[in-house]
Structure 1
Amino acid sequence: MKASLLPYKAFLFDLNGTMIDDMGYHVVAWTDILNNELKAGLSYEQVKAQMYGKNDELLERVFGEARFSPEEMLTISMEKERRYQQAFFPELKLIAGLGELLESAREERVRMAIGSAAIPFNIDFVLDNLQLRHYFETIVSADDVEISKPHPETYLECAARLALEPGDCVVFEDAPKGVEAALNAGMDCVVLTTLHGREDFGNYPNIIRFITDYNQL
């Protein structure tokens, strides 16, 4: 086990951009739908800035709460995910070094969970195609929380399901709003700079390390 991670009893992983380097594909899929079909007129950077939280929350941030019905938001969300999965599937693999970390954590009896704003459709896409499900005691998805990141509910729910205190957990994240969610939950955070550079994270006091892949731990 990496020395810097020894104090923690549990590893909580965000999924997209943290376990797999796929966030650019999400941005492209959203840009296509938001601009070409829904005529939002957003730049790539503006779409990138919206890449946090649930899909319906993203749509409400861009268009307002009254634009789409829940049924319409679900249809848009599923179409976006289908486009993302089709484009990304040939590149689907773990970020370098993560496989070794997962196996080492399992051997050392470190508890592991996923806390993601993704819907189960996307979580299953990753875990089942890469055969990872056996590493994780619990999975908290968009469907399991009322308020998504940066609200702490996702990560607090992970800790509660593991019967651990927040301070016993370290979070692996790739997005500023995810780091903020960990901070709000009282948890330290390791940041993957897959989509966002260090400059995007300001001075969050709970960041213990920036890495580009898990070999850098």
Structure 2
Amino acid sequence: MFEQKKLICFDLDGTLIDSVGVWNQVDAALIEQLSVKKVDLFQIQAERDQSLKHYKTYADPYLQYCAYLKEKYEMLLSPEQIKQQRYEISHYFLDQVIDLKPTVAEFLYALKQQGFILALTTTTSINNVNRYRKNNVKINQKMNIDELFSLVLTREDVENIKPHPEMYLKAMQHFELNRSECLIFEDSLIGVEAAVNAGIDVVAVYDQYSQHELEQIKQKAQFYVEDYAQLLSDF
């Protein structure tokens, strides 16, 4: 898995941090505040994933997602206002609830000690990443993002979000490496597809919120692990 690799790229939500379910809670709270309609948490996730994939070529896919929510759930606010309220609701979850997945910090520091270059490659916003950097006590007690990652790319750094390969190609080119020298860790089908589209080997990491697409993920990824404890023994 790691032989001849120099750069290891990590997705964030669902891969390093246990956050996908939290975003379901954020969207549920948003809908509850702005609509009389109720929705299932897994339905929210499916709608969000489908919407972001559909609008991946737009300048702001998340604004389009909020426009979708406005129409579907008959919200009175504008898409811009809905997006702002969603972000405000998320602050508590980003700062107080979200945590690293088990043994993530130990695994990342082991990789760093072995001389691998680490990159954070996420379609979340730079604002969210900065909240994790500055405000999230759970994460900062275990690891320092800037100490571990030599490069951080967020959705603002690319024109095309996953499953487009732009983010991974940009990381590879930044360090002037070729595909065979890179390895990607992802949890979702969209993320795995981005790695496949980039022509780079990908390790799929289990996340309960990707259970519905697990068989497709396993078929497309070169490697699959249930958790990072499986890999720590290699170091």
Q: Which amino acid aligns with 2:62?
A: N
Q: Does 1:21 align with 2:18?
A: yes
- Counterpart position of 1:55: 62
Amino acid aligned to 2:211: G
State the Cα deviation string for residues 40-85 of structure 1 (Å, max 9, x = none): 8754333212444542353466668xxxxxxx54543343233223
Identity %: 24
Which is helix-richer, 1 or 2?
2
Match of 2:5 in 1: 8
Q: In the alignment, does 2:153 pair up with 1:153?
A: no
- TM-score, normalised to structure 1, is 0.81
The alignment's C-alpha RMSD in Å is 2.8
Question: What TM-score do the two structures reach when normalised by structure 2?
Answer: 0.76
Larger radius of gyration: 2
Which residue of 94, 99, 105 maps to 1:93?
99
Deviation at 1:7, TM superposition (A): 3.3
Over 3 Å counting, the alpha-carbon distance change for 1:30 and 1:136 in structure 2 is same
Aligned partners of 1:140 and 1:40: how far apart in 2?
Answer: 36
Do 1:16 and 1:22's aligned partners in 2 also have CA atoms closer than 8 Å?
Answer: yes
Extract unaligned runs of 5+ from structure 2.
Answer: 53-60, 72-77
CA distance, structure 2, for counterparts of residue 134 and residue 197 of structure 1: 32
Q: 1:40 to 1:113 in 2, by over 3 A?
A: farther
For residues 73-112 of structure 1, give each alpha carbon's deviation from its aligned partner in whole angstroms, at most 9, with x where no partner exists: 4543343233223035333332112112211121121111
Segments of structure 1 that go 5 or more residues without pairing to the other structure are 65-71
User: Per-residue deviation at 1:161?
Assistant: 1.3
Matched residue, 1:216: 230
- 1:1-217 alignment, distance < 5 Å: 4-34=1-31, 36-37=33-34, 43-52=40-49, 53=52, 54-59=61-66, 73-128=79-134, 129=136, 130=140, 131-194=144-207, 195-197=209-211, 199-202=213-216, 205-217=219-231
Provide the C-alpha distance between the structure 1 equivalents of 2:36 and 2:194, rounded to a whole number of angstroms.
31
How far apart are the structure 1 equivalents of 2:36 and 2:181? Answer: 45
Size of the aligned set, in residue pairs, is 209
CA change 1:210–1:204 in 2 (3 A) is closer
